[in-house]
Amino acid sequence: CYFKRCYLGQKCQVDERTGRAICVCKSHCKPIKKPVCGTDGLYYENHCEMHRSACVVGKDVYDARHKDCFYQHNMCLPGSTCESGELKIFQDRLLDFHESKSRYTDEDAPGDDVKSIFRYLDLDMDGYVGSDEIYQVCRKSISTLEDLDRIFPLPCSLFHVLQYGDANQDHALDIHELLKLYNITELHLPIDKRVVLETAICGGSVSLQCGIKGDPNPIWRHYGYDVQAQGNPNINVIGDQLKISEVSPKNAGNYTCHARKRPEMKQVIRLSVHSAPHVKIYPRTQHVETGSSFNVMCHVRGIPPPRITWLMNGDQLEMESGRYVIMSNNTELHINSAQESDSAAYSCLATNVAGSNEEIGAVFVEDMVETSEYANGEVAAFFIFHESGIVILDPRSCQELRRIQADEALPGLLRQNKLCQIMNSDGVRHCNWSSAVVAGSRFVYAAQPTENRVVVVDLRLERVVEVLATDPMPVELYYVASTDQV
């Protein structure tokens, strides 16, 4: 046997039949207390016992380099099972014992004592407590505390704290898992989640998620105002989510959610509302004489600002010809020296991230364009606004078409239902006018400054069809053709 080499867990002996040296499994090991977990998941009192058992069963077993098997056989406090109720008693006693050794007051934040326990167990200060560290703490405690059995009765131990608290099954305990085991909620907001960008489409719906962990019911605010207190039926708060239905541009802006007990911990969610383009082309129809120039204008609204593309009969314009000029930030198309081939449907196509839209204007290029009172669909008339009312004349014959008197009844007014008011000086109705504009092909808007209103005259019906109240003293009116607005 002096020249025979055997594996771990074996010993050399002489075979009685052959007289040769052979290796056999050890029958026993020295009683050394140095626990180890094998790769078979079993607990062994020392390495010799592990290798002897491996030899007996005929399998390779090595040191697992962790102490997970201590759950089944507890070296720190011997015991095999630990129920959840028993673990709760153990946790409370561990907390009381640690508080008795430390200095905590009622002013300390919840969980500070549990965090202190974690720091005590985290020997290498890497943010994780593994079975090896618990094993070292247990050995240290056994050698220094005579009354450990009385303070921490069987069957639970620190290893069962690791077993029950290891939520992600990584064989280690972090501070969040230990706090959760003690039913202590820790508020947490990652740095990269303090400001979040969200987008929504106008008319759709959006759900905003609060990123604060640990508070299931945070408080939501929009520009500092409590969202729930505003009572908007389209906005609902469900737990840590803010849901907005039928999104409109007024819903855009900064939303904040903050913990109820810690207002200083808040997250900012910047909501951008995108709206699909709205396109208005002007004029919708026009007749142009050959050789002249003409313009087609396009008014576009949308968020973000849409990109405008001009099309002719569905195809892009040939800008190389030099007769097409795009002006006013791509909203106006100018064509020089119109030809019959320019008679077409011109489209203004607007596109952004929320969608696309287009409107078509028709242009007819002719050798001779007839000018009449119905050219371009407009009614030719001449209006005179004077102190006794309104006179409508035919511009060619100067004949009076209609006279609207100062005492003529107006629609929509109850107490004063006349065109003009009675003057206190002479008791006679006098009209006061400041400005008038033609809107489109059918209406004339006229301002009455002393009446604080605008009257609308229908060119075809030749009478007042609407009265619009305004701010005091309407002095001047403007008509924007591209948007058809006064």
Q: What is the pLDDT of residue 143?
A: 46
- How buried is 302 (Cβ within 10 angstroms: 0-12 exposed, 13-18 middle, 19+ buried)? buried
The burial class, CB within 10 Å (0-12 / 13-18 / 19+), for 52 is buried
Mean pLDDT by 10 residues, the chain (486 residues): 90 91 90 82 85 89 76 48 80 78 58 81 86 72 49 71 82 83 79 92 92 86 89 90 92 91 88 93 86 91 93 86 85 90 91 92 76 51 92 86 88 70 83 92 92 90 88 92 83
For the chain, report the end-to-end CA distance as a whole number of angstroms: 114
Instruction: Look at residue 146 in the predicted model and tell me its pLDDT.
Output: 44
- Tokens 């129809």 sit at which residue? 285
pLDDT for 145: 43
**CA-closest candidate to residue 58, choices 1, 5, 3, 7:** 7
> What are the chain's domains?
10-65 (3.30.60.30), 84-181 (1.10.238.10), 191-275 (2.60.40.10), 283-366 (2.60.40.10), 378-469 (2.40.10.480)
Say what the pLDDT of residue 150 is.
Answer: 55
Please tell me the predicted confidence (pLDDT) of residue 483. Answer: 79
What pLDDT shows up at residue 144? 45
**pTM exceeds 0.75, yes or no:** no
CA distance to 86, 116, 121, per residue, from 178 (Å): 17, 11, 11
Which pair of structure tokens corresponds to residue 429? 């109705």
